[in-house]
Amino acid sequence: MENLKAYMTRLSIKGAKKLENEIVLEFAPKNIHSNTDLGLYNVKSIYGMNGSGKSGIVQAMNIYKKILLDKSMLFDKDGVRYIEEMINKKSKKLEIDVSFLFTVDNETPKIYRHKIVLKINTLMKGKPGSIIINEEQLSFRGTSKNSKEYILFHSNGGEYVKGELSEYLLEKSTNLLDHQSIIGVYQDLFEKDDKYDKDQRLVAFWYFATNIFICRTTEDEHEKRWFLKEDDKSMYPFLHFTGDFIPSERIEDYKKQMESLEKFVKLFKVDLNKIELKFKEVSDNVSEVDKYFVYDDFKVHYEYESTGVKKIMELYYSIKAAANNKIVFIDEFDANINDIYLMKLIEYVSEETKGQLIFTTHNVSPMKVLKGKKKSIDFLTMNGEIISTTKRGNYSIENLYRAGMIEGLPFNINSYDFISIFSPKTEGI
Handedness of CA 218, 219, 220, 221 (dihedral sign): positive
pLDDT at residue 126, rounded to an integer:
65
Q: Give the Cα separation of 255 and 274 in Å (integer).
A: 13
For the stretch 197-208, pLDDT in tens is 678 899 999 999
Q: Residue 337, SS3?
A: coil
Average pLDDT for 5-19: 96
Average pLDDT for 148-161: 96
How open is the CA angle 323-324-329, to the nearest 5 degrees?
75
pLDDT at residue 148, rounded to an integer:
95
Q: How confident is the model at residue 145 (pLDDT cuts 50, 70, 90)?
A: confident
Instruction: Tell me: pLDDT of 358 over 70.
Output: yes
Instruction: Tell me: pLDDT of 427 over 80.
Output: no
Lowest mean pLDDT among 147-161, 177-191, 266-280: 177-191
Instruction: Tell me: pLDDT of 226 over 80.
Output: no
pLDDT at residue 238, rounded to an integer:
39
Provide the angle, in degrees to the nearest 10, between the axes of the packed helices 54-69 and 77-86: 150
Burial of 277 (0-12, 13-18, 19+ CB in 10 A): middle
Instruction: Tell me: pLDDT of 217 over 70.
Output: no
Claim: this prediction has a pTM higher than 0.85: yes
For the stretch 397-407, pLDDT in tens is 888 888 888 88
Average pLDDT for 205-227: 70
- Across the chain, mean pLDDT equals 88
pLDDT at residue 348, rounded to an integer:
97
Average pLDDT for 338-349: 96
Q: What are the structural domains, with CATH classification, of the chain?
A: 4-229+324-388 (3.40.50), 238-316 (no CATH)
The share of the chain scoring above pLDDT 90, in percent, equals 64
Average pLDDT for 122-134: 81
Residue 190 identity (one-letter amino acid): F
Neighbours of 170 (CB within 10 A): 16
Q: Give the Cα separation of 14 and 23 in Å (integer).
A: 6
Instruction: Tell me: pLDDT of 342 over 70.
Output: yes
For the stretch 40-85, pLDDT in tens is 999 999 999 989 999 999 999 999 999 999 888 998 888 899 999 9
